[in-house]
Structure 1
């Protein structure tokens, strides 16, 4: 078995290093493919979230098939879970599509690889229980959910390499603050969203005009419903202060207090 790790440039900070290392510790042979420039090129000018998901899905398969052909690979093994299927409207004929998931509605119909989805009928909590039963390391099992399109659906509007780097720094700071406060292990999912708006501010004695980021933290068990997590004001203050002082492109920080429903966990 050989895994192919495609770095699309939209992972969280340092994940393109951490993920292959973690998999190799499990004895899995992993080939890393650097394809971020290809993904950012394909995403130029695209702002519609459904189209972004499909472009990322198509580009991923193109890169994956190109590399898989060098290994004579026949299968694409995906971690699709049941909530992905439901939200993509594929669970039943009457299912309403909420948003396409890259691994359900975002893959091209004519791909040459045979698709394997062993977790397709399990919810996230059931997948974690299965992992515990199989003796998989808690570090991997307890990782927060992360969308296949990555930061591509956490950057509202057009996705660029510059915006991705900004969001990686913001997200990393937010996670560090939550880890230091002891809140991170109590939260199902937490992340930052880069908004397509800028805000006037003051840094030092000068006018600033920077991006707005939204912070989100929710609790759930299976991902179909979620409640926003009530972070202490002191933690929010620390996150906001660090983000605006350490990431010069950010001018304002807001906190999302919307449950699912009516919102989805991810913004796109």
Structure 2
């Protein structure tokens, strides 16, 4: 964030499971004088964090209410179902929603998957967070469908996960206020999209020194040399017989 008498910095908020480590490293290499401040926010608060300008930009999961916000989709996550290791579903390499139709499937309040109808049988109540739902799965109360990054974030030795083939997928996006696309925001977008320092939106490369023009003139014709008479041992012309 910037302002009068405040050194320039950039605040990047991110939701659980998203790991901006690589982008932070590149930012620090290119702009060591502008700190990139990381702030973790809940999925439920992510869009409001961008809209209220509590951060310069936010890495969040779609869908969101985009009113007043830019949102650039970055990548799509695999959707998985988290199960106890001794559950019958753990024996499969991949599952479908039909495979878990008879199971209780937990649907936490911070779920960001865009379900038309969640799979399985609903629990009596919805857990407040994904972390709470993980605890219930470990207790054998139900299964949980989440983006793979969240399954990794909440890894436990007694749980495992399998891809869920026909489930909605989570898309991670970079979001910021519509009227505040600053140079630092453009710089972050370039880093995330893999632009190099010398790309068109990065610093202009230093031009190489011009090579001297090649001399295209033809050399002047050489005057043929006149033959010299043959001489004897002492250099005098030989007499004719």
What is the TM-score with the length of structure 1 in the denominator? 0.26
* Higher fraction of helix: 1
Report which of the two structures shows the higher radius of gyration computed on alpha carbons: 2
Structure ranking higher on relative contact order (CA contacts 8 Å, 6+ apart): 2
What is the TM-score with the length of structure 2 in the denominator? 0.28
